[in-house]
Amino acid sequence: MAVCIAVIAKENYPLYIRSIPTENELKFHYMVHTSLDVVDEKISALGKALVDQRELYLGLLYPTEDHKVYGYVTNSKVKFVMVVDSSNTALRDNEIRSMFRKLHNSYTDVMCNPFYNPGDRIHSRAFDSTVTSMMTQVC
Amino acid sequence: MPPGLLSQYSDLERTSYEWYIPKGILKTGWMNKHLNLVPALVVVFYELDWDEPQQSLQGRNTKVAVVLIQKKTPLPPEFVVFGIMFEMLGDTTKFLLFVRHQFKIAFFSELKQDTQNALKNYRTAYNLVHELRAHETNILEIKTMAGFINYKICRLCFQHNTPLDAIAQFRKHIDLCKKKIGSAELSFEHAAWMSKQFQAFGDLFDEAIKLGLTAIQTQNPGFYYQQAAYYAQERKQLAKTLCNHEKFFFEGTDLSQGVCTYNVDVKDLCSVSYLKMGCVLYTGFDLSDPEKEKVGVLAIQLKERNVVHSEIIITLLSNAVAQFKKYKCPRMKSHLMVQMGEEYYAKDYTKALKLLDYVMCDYRSEENNGHAFKVSSSNLDIFVLFLVQCKAKFHAPSFHVDVPVQFHIYLKADCPHPIRFSKLCISFNNQITSVDLVLGNESGRCVVLSWQGGGGDAASSQEALQASRSFKRRPKLPDNEVHWDSMIIQASTMIISRVPNVSVHLRHEPPALMNEMYCLVVTVQSHEKTQITDVKLTAGLKPGQDANLTQKTHVTLHGTELCDESFPALLTDIPVGDLHPGQQLEKTFYVRCGTVGSRMFLVYVSYLISTTVKEKEIICKCHKDETVTVETVFPFDVAVKFVSSKFEHLERVYADIPFLLMTDVLSASPWALTIVSSELQLAPAMTPVDQLESQVDKVVLQTGESASECFCLRCPSEGNVEGGVATGHYVISWKRTSALETVPVISTTITLPHVIVENIPLHVNADLPSFGRVRESLPVKYHLQNKTNLVQDVDISVEPSDAFMFSGLKQIRLRILPGTEQEILYNFYPLMAGYQQLPSLNIDLLRFPNFTNQLLRRFIPTSIFVKPQGRLGDENSIAAA
């Protein structure tokens, strides 16, 4: 179960960010924002690798006391950041990976919508529900 | 050595642990005792008075041994006693002693610099500490001990260059101790302790890095300092809520007795005797007395009140910032700086503002279309002015130089009381001016500041900007109120030059013809109310186009001579004097374009004018530009072809045999062209057969018209030249028909195509009249020239034709010597009028089977016009015609 899910544009501004309502929203904003440091660094390191060998999943970005932050970057350099509770040991790397894949699929659907301008904030019910399912359901 | 010191620190008092109940894990003074008090070495001096051996054994290889004999029992080897007789002790006591001895072994190993063993023993000790049953009275002791052992382990791990072990140990330590809060009333102590743990680890990590360890972005000391800062913040929060007593009620009680510093500094542990300080509180007062315990708790809380938390937090945060800066985490750095700002915000606004201002730039740079993390500016703005909010905006994104710049400042008072402003100062970061104003009124006033920007041309020189200000007191009307949040800050404005009031008109006749002196007439008319001075023109190719164009475009003011490479593509700042209102001036430019294609030409007029703005005279610089796109085209197309003397198209010419060169000049210009003259410049290989005078002098060509010339040439035999023989050049001198006399004539040189020259073995030409007449004899003489170096046998035959009777040799074989010529004469007698086929001459060369009659037909006529037999009277009329 994720506590915060964010989609960040290539230019590092947020396209979508949602966190669980029980905790301070600003904290998650900061957490996602600071995680971009690591994402940037990882992307620049990946840039040297061949394109087709590139792994979209970036893995654990950095651990904090209470949370774990995972990253994922699409081929178009749109970043997904997911924050999960440190205490949640049910979520292994594989589960996170599949959650990201699901998120990516949903994001692709959003992009396919002809009324969506790339670079705008995402206002999509389908995407919302995908995110909601990830934030509630224990994968 | 003071007497009795040894016995004072002797451990030998007790040889058995029987009936021994330890009061804690370790005595407070133990480490100090072993580090500083117990002697590490005892040196005993005895005086030996004899000097015998030196005397008698001199020169001999004898060794001297001194044997000391002691009759008492020797000092026992350390620690052999450990590990025995524990069984008989109670569980708790046993574990306490386990920890104590394990720790002591490790400590001594470390003193002996046996770090491997020390580490091993410390690890065991650490595990043992956590096996101790924790309860409220000993939890601090356990934590302190665990923290200390953890510190030792981490340091040794870093020393052994196994940083991952150190990190793992630290994580384990934190996970184990995180929940051991202890007394809820003193929970800030736990936070302080946690903070200290993280800080200490951060310091260790940093120290290891300084000694050569490499850290990475996701694992660097910054994270630990950050976490330490978080716990320090938590401590602050907890202290705020827990130590919030109005007044301590036991002022009279002497608290200093039982309370010692709670700021545990792990590093100094060795020298400070507070290992059991958890118990200090409880031993200083009676443990069983709840009243006294309460007093103790209060005492600690009182102590906590005096701690300056902000300083601790800021120090930790700045440590973290320094680390994150080093490990390329700009956003993390910004985040922490915001927190530092928030911390400063409680006491030092200047510093807070400085920090937040700095960070704000970083955050703003990432904003896009208003999408941003909530961390950015909007949150930070609130800090900038804490009681009065301020927003400022320029009235428009740009201002002309001669209009006053309007700058609106909105102030909003957030506090319930009226505020007295002592000073409102506006400063601009480009040092134009600053405006001070003093307000002494209630809040909610909108002040409109306006000042004029005189001559501050954004693009050109910076001139002094005089500021004037005017106050307008706005009545507090609802429609004057602005919605605060919807206000957008416009923090910069562009000062643009004054709107010019002149007209620039261009007169020219496009398109330009290649290489001509293209005439551009610029007319500038002033519509200003006053005289304009220092009018300057800049004209030519607009900069920023293809670099090749710059080299192939030349501008001059003088149309009487042709431009060359030395002329510039853009003539700048040509002074043309002053203009009175309504006056106009005309200037002619000539542009020479060396290549075809479209070009953008720029005409730029600048001038100075003095205007009055708010009773102040300022000199404004105005400029107006006009661009025009001009296409450059070829003035004409030249076609060249080679034809035979019969005007038949020739693929190739034959050596020594005259041929015709025909040129055809087709005008492509929409304007009439005058061909002044033309000239054929022959290559050395070519020789003219007749005069090469121009036949098209002074010819005027309208669009689509063409002028042709024809030259008869001959090319002597020159072997077989690959790619043909150069013919020469054709030079056309021309100008526009409309151009002035003074405009120079342009010469366009066309390189004529190469031509393939072929040798033929036999050349035949015919001498015959231009026409025949029915039943009148028509003499035809054929000349056969042998062009080879061989004697040639020639078979000649003439086929009869219906239109002619003829006399002469019908079939003959000739032999022609090299370079000589044979003549054959025929008398044709036309029988029919009209265009008649001549009896065809067939020639076979025995040596050159390729020489066909087809080839022959190129040289000799195949038909002739035969006039009907005229009446006698007609003879004259024809001659007259």
pLDDT in tens, A121-131: 888 899 999 99
Mark which residues 86-105 of A lie under 8 Å from B by CB: none
Query: What digits encode the pLDDT tens for the residues B578-616?
Result: 888 888 888 888 888 888 888 888 888 888 888 877 777
Cα gap A114→B117, rounded to integer Å: 69
Does residue A7 sit at the B interface (CB-CB below 8 Å)?
no
Residue of B nearest to A18 (CA): B373
Helix (H, G, I), strand (E, B) or coil at B226: helix
The answer to whether A11 contacts B366, with C-beta atoms less than 8 Å apart, is: yes
pLDDT number for residue B248: 47
- Position A54 scores a pLDDT of 66
Higher pLDDT, B806 or B400: B806
Q: What is the mean pLDDT of residues B468-484?
A: 45
List the single range of B35-39, B203-207, B465-469 with lowest mean pLDDT: B465-469
- Best of A11, A34, A83 to disrupt the B interface (most B CBs within 10 Å) is A34
Does residue B461 surpass a pLDDT of 60?
no
Angstrom distance (rounded) from CA B702 to CA B390:
74
Structure tokens at B704: 């689509």
- How many CB atoms are located within 10 Å of the residue B629 CB? 10
> Given an 8 Å threshold on Cβ–Cβ distance, is A37 in contact with B217?
yes
Q: Which residues of A touch B375 (CB under 8 A)?
A: 26, 29-30, 33
User: How close is the nearest chain A Cα to the Cα of B131, in Å?
Assistant: 23
Q: Which two tokens stand for residue A40?
A: 């940037």
- If you write DSSP's letter for every residue of B728-758 in order, what string do you get? EEEEEEEEETTS-TTSPPEEEEEEPPPB-EE
Quick one: pLDDT at residue B756?
84
| Mean pLDDT computed over every residue of chain A | 83
Cβ atoms B644, B652 nearer than 8 A? no
Residue B779: pLDDT over 60? yes
**ipTM for the predicted complex:** 0.85
pLDDT confidence band for B93 (50 / 70 / 90)? low
pLDDT at B49 over 80: no
pLDDT computed for residue B264 by the predictor: 37
In single-letter form, the type of residue at position A54 comes to R
Q: List CB contacts (< 8 A) between A23 and chain B.
A: none
Torsions phi, psi for B32 (to 5 deg): -60, -40
Are A11 and B375 inside 8 Å of each other by CB?
no
Gap between the Cα atoms of A86 and A68, Å rounded:
6
**Rounded Cα gap, residues B292 and B282, in angstroms:** 9
Residue-wise over B466-491: b if at least 16 C-beta within 10 A, else e?
Answer: bbeeeeeeeeeeeeeeeeeeeeeeee
Which A positions 70-89 lie with beta carbon below 8 A of chain B?
none
**How do residues B680-734 score in pLDDT, each as one tens digit?**
888 888 888 888 888 888 888 888 888 888 888 888 876 666 777 888 899 999 9
Q: Which residues of B touch A89 (CB under 8 A)?
A: none
pLDDT of B258 above 80: no
DSSP B36: I
What predicted TM-score, i.e. pTM, was given to this entire model?
0.48
Q: Per the CB < 8 Å rule, is B373 touching A61? A: no
Confidence at residue B254, expressed as pLDDT on a 0 to 100 scale: 42
Cα–Cα distances (Å) from A99 to A39, B675, B767, in that order, read: 18, 82, 103
Q: What is the pLDDT of residues B317-369, one digit of tens each?
A: 999 988 888 888 888 888 888 888 878 877 777 777 777 777 776 776 666 55
Query: B484 vs chain A: nearest CA distance in angstroms?
Result: 23
Contacts of B366 in chain A (CB under 8 A): 11-13
Residues of chain B with Cβ-Cβ distance to A120 below 8 Å are 369
CB within 8 Å: A17 and B373: yes
Mean pLDDT confidence for B524-529: 87
> With contact defined as beta carbons under 8 Å apart, do B670 and B703 qualify?
yes
Tell me which H or E stretch contains B700: strand B699-701
B878 vs B464 pLDDT, higher one: B878
Residue of B nearest to A36 (CA): B331
- For residues A94 and A104, the answer to whether their CB atoms sit within 8 Å is no
pLDDT for B628 beyond 60: yes
E-strand ranges in chain A read 2-8, 14-19, 57-63, 67-73, 79-85
Q: A14 — contact with chain B (CB < 8 Å)?
A: yes
Taking chain B, what is the end-to-end CA distance rounded to the nearest angstrom?
Answer: 159
Query: Who has greater pLDDT, B244 or B768?
Result: B768
Q: Which residues of B touch A (CB under 8 A)?
A: 174, 217-218, 223, 227, 230, 324, 328-332, 335, 366-369, 371-375, 379
Least trusted range by pLDDT, from B117-131, B443-457, B715-729, B813-827: B443-457
- CB atoms inside a 10 Å sphere around CB B265: 13
Cβ proximity of B332 and B222 under 8 Å: yes
Mean pLDDT of B73-99: 55
pLDDT surpassing 80 at residue B231: yes
Identity of the amino acid at B193: W
3-class secondary structure, B447: strand
Residue B96 confidence (pLDDT): 72
Residue showing tokens 């198209």:
B649
Q: Rounded CA gap, B266 and B402, in Å? A: 70
Instruction: Output B762 or B135, whichever has higher pLDDT.
Output: B762
Contact indicator for B791, B761 with CB cutoff of 8 Å: no
Q: Mutate which of B371, B377, B380, B382 to disrupt the A interface (most A C-beta within 10 Å)?
A: B371
Range with lowest mean pLDDT among A6-15, B461-470, B591-600: B461-470
Percentage helix, strand, coil for chain A under 3-state DSSP, each rounded to 5: 40, 25, 35
Q: What is the mean pLDDT of residues B646-671?
A: 86
What is the count of residue pairs from A and B with beta carbons less than 8 Å apart? 61
| CA distances for B586 relative to B554, B624, B626, angstroms | 20, 16, 15
Selecting from A12, A17, A33 the residue whose C-beta is nearest the C-beta of B335 gives: A33
Provide the pLDDT confidence category of residue B755 given band limits of 50, 70 and 90.
confident
What band does B63 get if pLDDT is binned at 50, 70 and 90? confident
The tens digit of pLDDT for each residue in B399-444 reads 777 777 777 777 666 555 555 555 566 656 554 444 444 443 444 4
Highest averaged pLDDT of the listed ranges B14-18, B181-185, B274-278, B822-826: B822-826
Contact across the interface for B223 and A62, Cβ inside 8 Å: yes
The answer to whether the Cβ–Cβ distance between A121 and B331 falls below 8 Å is no
Q: Is B389 helix (H, G, I), strand (E, B) or coil?
A: strand
Q: What chain A residue is nearest to B223 in terms of C-alpha separation?
A: A64
Q: What pLDDT was estimated at residue A107?
A: 92
pLDDT reported for residue A34: 86
Q: Which amino acid is at B471?
A: F
Determine the pLDDT at residue A103. 92
State mean pLDDT over B145-155: 89
In B65-186, alpha helices (H): 91-111, 115-131, 139-159, 163-177
Task: Give me the helix-helix angle, B163-177 and B115-131, nearest 10°.
Answer: 20
Q: Does A12 touch chain B (CB under 8 A)?
A: yes
Residue B29 CB: number of other CB atoms within 10 A? 16
- C-beta of residue B148 within 8 angstroms of C-beta of residue B122: no
What's residue A80's pLDDT? 92
Q: What is the pLDDT of residue A85?
A: 85
| pLDDT of res. B47 | 74
For range B45-60, the mean pLDDT: 67
- Residue B120, pLDDT above cutoff 70: yes
Binary contact (B218, A33; C-beta < 8 A): no
Partner residue facing A29 (CB), from B174, B328, B374: B374
End-to-end CA separation in angstroms for chain A: 7
Averaged over A84-111, what is the pLDDT? 87
B10-24, B115-129, B501-515, B639-653: range with lowest mean pLDDT? B10-24
What pLDDT does residue A51 have?
56
Which of helix, strand or coil describes residue A25? helix
Q: Is the pLDDT of residue B239 over 50?
A: yes
B59: pLDDT strictly greater than 50: yes
By DSSP bridging, strand B762-767 and strand B512-513 are unpaired
Lowest-pLDDT range of B76-90, B171-185, B347-361: B76-90
- State what percent of residues in chain B have pLDDT above 90: 4
**Closest CA of chain B from A85, distance in Å:** 15
Pseudo-torsion of CA B304, B305, B311, B312, nearest 10°? 20
Task: Supply the DSSP string of B413-429, one letter for each residue.
Answer: E-SSS----S-EEEE-T
Round the average pLDDT of chain B to a whole number and report it: 75
Confidence of residue A120 (pLDDT cuts 50, 70, 90): confident
Q: Residues of B with CB below 8 A from A32's CB?
A: 373
pLDDT confidence band for B384 (50 / 70 / 90): very low
Give pLDDT, residue B200: 92
A27 touches chain B (CB under 8 A): no
Higher-pLDDT residue of A109, A56: A109
- Among A11, A29, A37, the residue with its CB nearest the CB of B332 is A37
User: In which band, very low, low, confident or very high, does the pLDDT at B283 lie, cut at 50, 70 and 90?
Assistant: very low
